[in-house]
Structure 1
Amino acid sequence: MTSNDPFARLPEVPSFTVTSASVRDGQALRPAQLSGLFGVPGGRDASPQLSWSGAPEHTRSYAVTVYDPDAPTMSGFWHWAVANIPATVTSLPEGAGDDTGSGLPDPAVQLPNDARAARFIGGAPPAGHGPHRYLITVHALDVDDIGVPADSTPASLGFTMASHILARATLTGTAETPGDR
């Protein structure tokens, strides 16, 4: 699916490299990254392991977002949003986005996702809805603190950081739940 590109209306910025032991770009998400909380059998709601390199020299912090543009809403579905990751940090372990953010460095903050939980929620496409893309993006920012409140929304984070993004790196995982429409 090539429609609904969430980056199409944002300023173009350079890319850098993001890799993951949890997600292979363009491939199906593993059960660990699917949502047991939303009823996917075997889903563990574990945020993916991420490593990145090659961000611009002037990067002062990072934000990480996980977004499903194919969700059956007019606004997609935000699965995870983390702001204020220090520029010295270039990886996150799998499961960092649990209920307490146990694997996140200080002063990083998890924002409530579209399920209103300040944690990672795994993929859970509705049965028969077709394939969904999960855009896992690391944003290199020109500020130490993006200045959004901890109870802000991922959309508000996106709006606030749009003019501060120096570069971004994205991996795309997929998921589909068979069934009748």
Structure 2
Amino acid sequence: MADFRIWSDEFAANGHLSKNHEFDQQAFGVNGENLSPALQWDGVPADAKSLALTVYDPDAPTGSGFWHWVVVNIPVETRSLPQNAGKADGSLLPAGALQLHNDYGSIGFGGAAPPRGDKPHRYIFRIHALTAEHLPLDITVTNAVARFMTHLNEIDSATYTGLYQLK
């Protein structure tokens, strides 16, 4: 079996995300389309029972980074998500998958919005293979609790990083 890996055809590894992956919020000074990129993965460990997906910006000036997307309970047989799977209504996610609040305070994917003039920020897309078939979480849970449960049940993970900068 191949190594566990994740990728997107929308941007190269360590390449730049596009304007359509930018957040759309005047308060943050951005007006992108807030579309989550299409993602694919393979090499899921044979003993995995479900998957989770996180998107994290460790460069955000918060002292603890910024969580842009947290999805749990992705069926283990899933091997891709289409563009905009992170829209708030979750209609493009596989049945059973649960999106939680991102650090913007909204449900689903929150696009890139680094401070204007800052160095390029890293957006780390991580697919997690889990021992649990279903994490016992609901929409009221914070993404920190979901990430705790994800790490507690993790067998392996794979990452793919994109960059974004506002000049």
TM-score by length of 2: 0.92
Which of the residues 30, 33, 39 maps onto 1:40? 30
Moved over 4 A (4+): none
- 1:142 maps to 2:135: no
Deviation at 1:23, TM superposition (A): 2.8
Question: What is the distance in 2 between the residues matched to 1:85 and 1:23?
Answer: 23
Q: Percent identity?
A: 42
What is the identity, as a one-letter code, of the residue corresponding to 2:5? Answer: T
Question: What is the distance in 2 between the residues matched to 1:146 and 1:103?
Answer: 20
Question: What is the distance in 2 between the residues matched to 1:153 and 1:39?
Answer: 26
Which of the residues 57, 60, 72 maps onto 2:46? 57
Alignment of 1:111-122 (within 5 A): 111-122=100-111
What is the identity, as a one-letter code, of the residue corresponding to 2:9? Answer: A
Deviation at 1:106, TM superposition (A): 1.2
- 1:24 maps to 2:12: yes
- 1:85 maps to 2:74: yes
Deviation at 1:139, TM superposition (A): 0.5
Deviation at 1:125, TM superposition (A): 0.3
Which of the residues 123, 133, 140 maps onto 1:151? 140
Question: What is the distance in 2 between the residues matched to 1:147 and 1:89?
Answer: 19
Deviation at 1:160, TM superposition (A): 1.4
Equivalenced residue count is 163
Which of the residues 131, 152, 158 maps onto 2:120? 131
Cα deviation digits, residues 85-116 of structure 1 (max 9, x gap): 00111110000111201110110010000111
What is the identity, as a one-letter code, of the residue corresponding to 1:96? Answer: A
Question: Which sections of structure 2, spanning at least 5 residues, go unmatched?
Answer: none
Question: Which sections of structure 1, spanning at least 5 residues, go unmatched?
Answer: 1-14
Aligned residue in 2 for 1:104: 93
Question: What is the distance in 2 between the residues matched to 1:26 and 1:86?
Answer: 27
